[in-house]
Amino acid sequence: MNPTIEIKNLKVSEFMSEETLCFSCTVYVNGKKALIAENQGQGGNTSIRALDNELFNLINGYAKNLPPYVCDYFTLEYDLELLIDELVEKEQENKKLKKLCKKQTLFSLPEDKKGEYRTVKAVFSDKVKDYIINKYPLAEIVNLRFVS
C-alpha cells in the first residue's frame, strides 16, 4: 500500500528564489510528521531532515520505487528529493490557482500547454460549469479541484 504524503506548513519565498524554488515545509506521511524539507532557492539540493526514521525509510523506499521522471531532454531516477520538490511545486501551484479561482473560472483544453489556462470572467457556478462543458466537452475545469 502506498503511503499518504502531505506537504504542510509550506513557506515559499518567491523573491529569494533564483534557480530553484526557495521553500521550507513539513512532510507528513500517513498523517504523522515525518520530515522537514528546505531549499535555499539558489540551485542547490533540497535538504531533508528526518523527524521519524521509520517514516523516513518508508517514504524514501517509496520514492526510489517510482517510475523514472521523463522530460523532453532527459530522464531522472526518482528519489526522495525529487518527490518532495515535485509535491512542493504542485502545492504552490495549487495555492496560486485557488486564489485565481475565487473571482473567475479557469479551465484548460487538451491542446493547451501545461500550466496555461483559459478563463471565464465569472465566479464558478453550475451555470458556468455547464456552459464550459457544453462548449468544450474535453475541458478540465480547474475550479473543480477546490470545490468541497
List, for residues 56-65, the tens digit of each pLDDT value.
Answer: 999 999 999 9
What confidence score (pLDDT) does residue 38 get? 96
Would the pLDDT of 22 be above 90?
A: yes
What confidence score (pLDDT) does residue 71 get? 83
pLDDT band at 25 (very low <50, low <70, confident <90, very high): very high
Note the pLDDT tens digit of each residue in 100-136: 999 999 999 999 998 899 999 999 999 999 999 999 9
* Average confidence (pLDDT) over 30-54: 95
The Cα 131–Cα 142 span in angstroms is: 14
The Cα 127–Cα 142 span in angstroms is: 15
Domain boundaries, the chain: 5-92, 101-146
The Cα 38–Cα 25 span in angstroms is: 7
What confidence score (pLDDT) does residue 52 get? 97
What confidence score (pLDDT) does residue 126 get? 95
Strand, helix or coil for residue 75: strand
What confidence score (pLDDT) does residue 56 get? 96
What confidence score (pLDDT) does residue 147 get? 84
Would the pLDDT of 15 be above 90?
A: no
Tell me if 134 sits within 8 A of 98, measured CB to CB. no
Angle at 143 between CA 139 and CA 148, to 5 degrees: 125
Q: Which residues face 118 on adjacent strands? A: 107
